[in-house]
């Protein structure tokens, strides 16, 4: 058995050191609560915001005027979409301006061009809702502030399971990967925040199949928090409504709104109807609304689709190059510089990337608490509200405040004696102690292939009951094979093996929810149910795992 080398008591455990996790730690620290933050990598550079961001979704009355609902309507029309609870979306907007001012005060430049400028991700002639900022140092600033307020940061600790006792959170089981030889860490706590980011590595890379880590976001983010919430009994929403992202072909990167150009077919015809001459205020929003067109153009032979930046003003070009750094696209910019690529002369092909889960996961309230008491979720894994880095910061902050203002519950007793924790320790120990076996990477590639082939996502990639049932059977078979055959030679491989089992849980949940949703809506396109069903129009399909099985429900989306 892998040894338990640390047992810790904490008022507040944070799983994941990205934007949401660090925001929660800072809020708790300012209120006098010392958080324990467990990060599988290193908080200095982890999560989807590790290199930076340059768009912050927010409402500022001095810019937008007094009508916040006007901005809420624009939010629902944007790439963020309308698959949210209206009251949470409105609450997020109400709090977003406060976060902008905090970040600026802390040293993250929210006014890189002299004042609050809103541009990008915008329709011509409509309100602009994305604040342009310089986030290249956001992780350094947030990490430093959290540590200064007393947060106990434990890097190289990957959480394997959330312990629940008597219907309430009791702590977490973590794997210490700081050395080759693994060990367990138990943290007893009545409050746990899951802030593990979006889900990658679940589907084949569109442009480089087999290269698991060529992903739009941090490839270490595999939806662990969604799997932990599911296992703990929390209710999930939106799991079957998946989508892809758009960006440069092969050099997979997010940040499409940082580019100032027009998407065009090879004959020079603009792809969308919105702009013909781009400016830094209003680039081409087509990719936000119609990501499937990039794949369709390849299938029908009209493509590829390129982004043409040749018409932009010199001032806007310099602005774009500067914003590449703010967004964290430094490797892309370095590559272009090294190979003499000039966007004023060279068009760049854009493609639709594989599905990465963003806006699917645990249902939360305004305090970021899930349906399991003491279990919170914030960031890209939130199921019923979305707003990218801005929403991660807001709901992380609200979670930290909620924990600090709540009743001080005593940590649970010996969580190692809980059956779920004991079984987890025995299971992961067996993978490490196995003499021979298959590597985790083979299992991850097989999983991504099954999901891509049988539970597909996107325009033109249709689902059916027979195909998804077959895929679900293959996922079960793969889980059995992984349980019997995966071998982890060291702590790092054991962490990756654990991620495979988390991805298997998420893949199964998507398949079961997609089978349950007997209609076509958004990117959930079913050949056997080709029409929308009105009962889903303003409702969430909810899913929870109870006694080893899934329980589904429908609930109305709350209005603002």
Q: CA-to-CA distance for 292 and 452, rounded, in angstroms?
A: 15
What pLDDT band is residue 189 in, cutting at 50, 70 and 90?
A: very high
Give per-residue pLDDT as tens, 493-522.
999 999 999 999 999 999 999 999 999 998
Domain boundary residue, one of 134, 155, 184: 134
User: Looking at the domain assignment, is residue 392 inside a domain?
Assistant: no
- Bridge partners (DSSP) of residue 352 are 246
Q: Are residues 325 and 441 in the same domain?
A: no
Number of domains in the chain: 3
Question: 310 in a domain, yes or no?
Answer: yes
Residue 307 lies in a domain: yes
Q: Which two tokens stand for residue 419?
A: 């059956």
Q: Is the pLDDT of residue 282 over 90?
A: no
Q: What share of the chain in percent tops pLDDT 90?
A: 81
- 502 assigned to some structural domain: yes
Containing structural domain, residue 76: 54-134
Q: Look up the pTM and report it.
A: 0.96
Confidence of residue 48 (pLDDT cuts 50, 70, 90): confident
320 and 421 part of one domain: no
The mean pLDDT of 16-38, rounded to a whole number, is 97
∠ at Cα 509 (505, 514), nearest 5°? 155
- For residue 4, pLDDT over 70 is answered with yes
The mean predicted confidence, pLDDT, of the chain is 94
> What is the signed CA dihedral for 403, 404, 408, 410, rounded to 10 degrees?
60
| Residue 255 sits in the same domain as residue 335 | yes
Return the C-alpha torsion angle 179, 169, 27, 102, nearest 10.
Answer: 90
Tell me: do 339 and 433 sit in the same domain. no
Are 424 and 330 part of one and the same domain? no
Domain boundary among 340, 355, 370: 355
Could you tell me if residue 88 is inside a domain?
Answer: yes
Rg (CA), the chain: 23
**Looking at residues 107-129, what average pLDDT do you find?**
93
**505 within domain boundaries:** yes
Give tens-digit pLDDT for 403-423.
999 876 666 678 999 999 999
| Listed residues 134, 153, 186: the one ending a domain | 134
For residue 201, being part of any structural domain is answered with: no
Residue 318: CATH number of its domain:
3.90.700
| Whether residues 426 and 330 fall in one domain | no
**Domain check: are 432 and 326 in the same one?**
no
What average pLDDT does the segment 257-284 reach? 91
Q: 524 and 425, same structural domain?
A: yes
CATH code at position 465: 1.20.58.100
Whether 159 is covered by a domain: the verdict is no
- pLDDT, residue 206, reads 85
**Do 450 and 519 share a domain, yes or no?**
yes
**Integer CA distances (angstroms), 532 to 242, 291, 462, 520, in order:** 16, 21, 14, 5
Whether pLDDT at 252 is above 90? no
Assess whether 435 and 524 both reside in one domain. Answer: yes
CA 556 vs CA 194, 336, 535, 551: distances in Å: 25, 48, 9, 17
Q: Identify whether residues 426 and 552 lie together within a single domain.
A: yes
Is the model's pLDDT at 125 over the cut of 90? no
DSSP state of 415: G
Contacts of 389 (CB under 8 A, 6+ apart): 19, 48, 49, 53, 55, 56, 57, 135
Indicate if 423 and 548 belong to the same structural domain: yes
The string over 211-240, giving b where at least 16 C-beta atoms fall within 10 Å of a residue's C-beta and e elsewhere, is ebebbbbbbbbbbbbbbbbbbbbbbbbbbb
Task: Please report, for the chain, how many H helices and E strands are present, in that order.
Answer: 15, 19
């Amino acid at each position: 058995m892998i040894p338990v080398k640390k047992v810790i008591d904490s008022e507040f455990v944070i799983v994941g050191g990205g934007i949401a996790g660090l925001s929660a730690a800072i809020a708790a620290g300012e209120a006098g609560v010392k958080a324990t933050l467990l990060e599988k990598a290193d908080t200095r550079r982890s999560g989807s915001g590790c290199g930076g961001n340059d768009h912050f979704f927010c409402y500022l009355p001095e810019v937008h005027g007094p009508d916040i609902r006007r901005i809420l309507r624009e939010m629902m029309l944007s790439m963020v979409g309308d698959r949210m609870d209206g009251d949470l979306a409105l609450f997020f907007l109400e709090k977003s301006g406060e976060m902008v001012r905090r970040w600026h005060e802390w040293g993250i430049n929210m006014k890189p061009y002299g004042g609050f400028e809103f541009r990008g991700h915008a329709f011509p002639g409509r309100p602009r809702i994305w604040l342009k900022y310089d986030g290249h140092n956001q992780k350094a600033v947030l990490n430093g502030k959290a540590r200064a307020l007393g947060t106990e940061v434990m890097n190289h600790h990957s959480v394997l399971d959330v312990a629940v006792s008597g219907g309430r959170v009791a702590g977490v089981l973590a794997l210490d990967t700081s050395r080759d030889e693994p060990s367990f860490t138990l943290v007893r706590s009545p409050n746990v925040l899951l802030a593990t980011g979006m889900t990658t590595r679940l589907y084949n890379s569109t442009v480089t199949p087999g290269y698991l880590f060529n992903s739009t976001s941090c490839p270490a983010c595999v939806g662990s928090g969604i799997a932990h919430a599911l296992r703990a009994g929390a209710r999930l929403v939106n799991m079957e409504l998946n989508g892809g992202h758009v960006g440069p072909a092969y050099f997979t990167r997010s940040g499409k709104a940082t580019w100032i150009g027009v998407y065009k077919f090879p004959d020079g015809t603009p792809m969308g109807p919105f702009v013909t001459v781009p400016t830094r205020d209003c680039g081409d929003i087509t990719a936000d609304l119609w990501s499937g067109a990039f794949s369709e153009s390849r299938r029908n032979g009209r493509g590829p689709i390129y982004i043409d930046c040749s018409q932009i003003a010199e001032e806007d070009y310099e602005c774009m190059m500067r914003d590449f750094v703010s967004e964290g696209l430094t490797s892309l910019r370095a590559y272009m510089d090294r190979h003499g690529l000039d966007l004023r002369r060279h068009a760049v092909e854009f493609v639709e990337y594989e599905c990465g889960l963003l806006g699917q996961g645990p249902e939360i309230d305004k305090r970021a608490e899930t349906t399991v008491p003491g279990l919170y979720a914030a960031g890209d894994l939130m199921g019923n509200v979305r707003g990218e880095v801005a929403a991660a910061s807001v709901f992380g902050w609200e979670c930290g405040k909620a924990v600090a203002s709540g009743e001080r519950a005593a940590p649970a007793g010996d969580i190692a004696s809980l059956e779920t924790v004991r079984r987890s320790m025995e299971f992961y120990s067996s993978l490490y102690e196995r003499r021979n076996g298959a590597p985790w990477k083979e299992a991850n590639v097989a999983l991504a292939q099954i999901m891509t082939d049988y539970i597909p996502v996107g325009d033109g990639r249709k689902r059916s009951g027979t195909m998804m049932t077959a895929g679900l059977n293959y996922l079960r078979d793969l889980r059995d094979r992984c349980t019997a055959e995966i071998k982890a030679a060291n702590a790092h491989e054991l962490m990756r093996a654990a991620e495979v089992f988390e991805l298997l849980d998420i893949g199964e949940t998507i398949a079961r929810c997609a089978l349950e949703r007997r209609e076509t809506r958004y990117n959930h396109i079913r050949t056997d149910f080709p029409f929308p069903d009105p009962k889903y129009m303003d409702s969430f399909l909810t899913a929870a795992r109870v006694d080893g099985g899934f329980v589904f429900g429908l609930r109305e989306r709350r209005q603002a």
